[in-house]
Chain A
Amino acid sequence: RKEVEQDPGPFNVPEGATVAFNCTYSNSASQSFFWYRQDCRKEPKLLMSVYSSGNEDGRFTAQLNRASQYISLLIRDSKLSDSATYLCVVNSQTGANNLFFGTGTRLTVIP
């Protein structure tokens, strides 16, 4: 079983739509959780960390459910510039900071 599994996508949504991505992880001892954004042929960039209580950053809301080993990302009022691949990332080794990446979910926001 993969360490991190994500919705395969792709998601094609109109501007202004709300879209949600889901992710599950296999290691119950995982310590840290993140969403990264990766544009085509570019490196991943940290979008936001995911905290147990859930957290929001502008139009982006991340949720973590440790019992279900489930992470989500909600994007409200989608912009054209949100088009990218969103990577669910989990740190599964305490102290080693070894990040495990999901395969990513491709989002295309359509005018």
Chain B
Amino acid sequence: GAVVSQHPSWVICKSGTSVKIECRSLDFQATTMFWYRQFPKQSLMLMATSNEGSKATYEQGVEKDKFLINHASLTLSTLTVTSAHPEDSSFYICSARGFSGGGGGDTQYFGPGTRLTVL
């Protein structure tokens, strides 16, 4: 089946620093990637939708200048949390949607998530 990887799986950083999270589709080309955030005991909340080669579409309430998204290729999207603060501590999950012989199809495949802790 389709596989999506994320790196790093967890990160601890100091307040004010920037953190970059990578999301890769390993065996299919992802025309669209999604970035979600999940706080403890809450549901996944969509932050933004990115299409390869174009600007990301951000959900209401998500600061585009704080959460920078780049989708430069069909297999890679990055999320950069700039000037991170403790309230940004969360579980960040990407998902990818695309088409491949492996059946990327209409199903969104999720990465394993990145746990960010900002001290």
Residues in A lying within 8 Å of B, measured CB to CB: 4, 32, 41-46, 87, 96-104
**Given the complex, which residues of A lie within 8 Å of B43, measured CB to CB?**
4, 87, 101-104
A97 to B106, CA, bound (A): 8
Residues in B lying within 8 Å of A, measured CB to CB: 32, 34, 41-46, 49, 91, 93, 95, 97, 106-108, 110-113, 115
**Min CB–CB distance B46 → chain A (angstroms):** 6
Contact of A97 among B41, B93, B108, B110 (CB under 8 A): B108
**B97-A98 in contact (CB<8A):** no
**Given the complex, which residues of A lie within 8 Å of B46, measured CB to CB?**
98-100
**A43-B110 in contact (CB<8A):** yes
**Given the complex, which residues of B lie within 8 Å of A96, measured CB to CB?**
49
**Min CB–CB distance B60 → chain A (angstroms):** 13
**B44-A101 in contact (CB<8A):** yes
**Min CB–CB distance A102 → chain B (angstroms):** 6
**A44-B44 in contact (CB<8A):** yes
Which 3 residue pairs across A and B have the least CB separation, nearest first?
A43-B110, A101-B43, A103-B43
A43 to B91, CA, bound (A): 9
**B111-A98 in contact (CB<8A):** no
Residue on A with the closest CB to B46? A98
**Min CB–CB distance B79 → chain A (angstroms):** 15
A52 to B106, CA, bound (A): 17
**B93-A43 in contact (CB<8A):** yes
12 contacts between A and B (CB under 8 A): A4-B43, A32-B106, A42-B113, A43-B93, A45-B110, A87-B43, A97-B32, A97-B108, A99-B34, A99-B46, A103-B42, A104-B43
A44 to B44, CA, bound (A): 9
**Given the complex, which residues of A lie within 8 Å of B34, measured CB to CB?**
98-99
**A46-B42 in contact (CB<8A):** no
**B112-A43 in contact (CB<8A):** yes
**Given the complex, which residues of B lie within 8 Å of A87, measured CB to CB?**
43-44
**Min CB–CB distance A93 → chain B (angstroms):** 10
**A99-B108 in contact (CB<8A):** yes
Given A98-B46, A99-B46: A42 touches B112 (CB 8 Å cut-off) = yes
**Given the complex, which residues of A lie within 8 Å of B115, measured CB to CB?**
41
